[in-house]
Amino acid sequence: MSELSKISFAKAQSILKKFRYKPRPEWSDDERILFKLCNFAVLSKKRLNVILKSLQSLSKLSDKSHYKYNELDIKLIKELILDNLEVCFDKFKQKISVIKESDIEIIQNHINNIKNENLRLENEIKRLNFIIENYINEKELNEIKDIKDLLNEKVVVQNTKIRSSKKSKEKLAFDKRNIREFLRKWNEGQTTFEITESHKRIDVDIKNTKKRRFKL
């Protein structure tokens, strides 16, 4: 029966002729289905030919030497035909859609809206990227500034340590002999400053003597 759905117009006509001489009550279920298939194949072709001839006749109105019209007139005719065509196909209970001029406009508007939205999103992405880049650059600058401040603090601390070290080196290293010498000079009436300077000169002389001996 699936092969009969592809039956040709000529074969369908020959089968229908056989049914003319057989009463309907005597038809079997398969014969009833076969009749319907053949009847549709024959009549759909005939009626479609009528429609096509009518459309060809309508197209003759395009001759501007005999007729005057504008774009709106043609669109109205097209919409009227498509509206009736859609009503016609709806009766077949099949999922067949007819795209009309108004549908095309709706689709085009929808496409334009999508394009505009895409453009808006692209601009928004660019704006956000610009904000993010500025934030990153500013953050990097702040980090660099923090590092500089930290290094400066370390330098200050290091310089402080160096100065403290120098001061500590400048302090006199007293031992038992120096203490006895200090007390002796103190009892002789010398001041603390005089005793300290005298001790420094002695240390310098000792260091210079050691250096000269080392060179020899």
Give tens-digit pLDDT for 31-58.
888 888 888 889 999 999 999 999 999 9
Helices vs strands, H then E, count in the chain: 6, 0
Residues 135 and 180 in one domain: no
Q: Is 84 contained in some domain? A: no
Highest mean pLDDT among 106-110, 166-170, 195-199, 206-210: 106-110
Q: Is 92 contained in some domain? A: no
Residues 124 and 161 in one domain: yes
Domain count, the chain: 3
Sign of CA dihedral 61, 64, 66, 72: positive
- Among 45, 68, 91, the domain boundary falls at 68
d(CA 180, CA 193): 16
Residues 104 and 164 in one domain: yes
User: φ, ψ for residue 78 (rounded to 5)?
Assistant: -60, -45
Residues 105 and 165 in one domain: yes
Residues 202 and 188 in one domain: yes
d(CA 147, CA 153): 10
Residues 133 and 183 in one domain: no
User: φ, ψ for residue 65 (rounded to 5)?
Assistant: -75, -20
215 three-class SS = helix
Tokens found for residue 191:
């001041």
Please tell me the least confidently modeled range out of 78-92, 144-158, 184-198, 202-216. 202-216
Residues 166 and 111 in one domain: yes
Label residue 165 by pLDDT band (50, 70, 90).
low
The gap from C-alpha 116 to its chain's centroid, in whole angstroms, comes to 16
* Residue pair 172/196 in contact by the 8 Å Cβ criterion: yes
Average pLDDT over residues 82-106: 79
Residues 107 and 161 in one domain: yes
Q: Is 80 contained in some domain? A: no
Domain ranges, residue 193: 173-216
CB atoms within 10 A of CB 15: 19
Label residue 159 by pLDDT band (50, 70, 90).
low
Please tell me the least confidently modeled range out of 17-26, 156-165, 179-188. 156-165
Q: Is 87 contained in some domain? A: no
- Cα distances from 11 to residues 15, 34, 38, 77, 202, in angstroms, run 6, 12, 8, 37, 139
Residues 118 and 108 in one domain: yes
d(CA 161, CA 138): 34
* pLDDT > 90 fraction of the chain, expressed in percent and rounded: 13
Residue 70 pLDDT more than 60?
Answer: yes
Q: Is 77 contained in some domain? A: no
70 three-class SS = coil
Q: Is 154 contained in some domain? A: yes
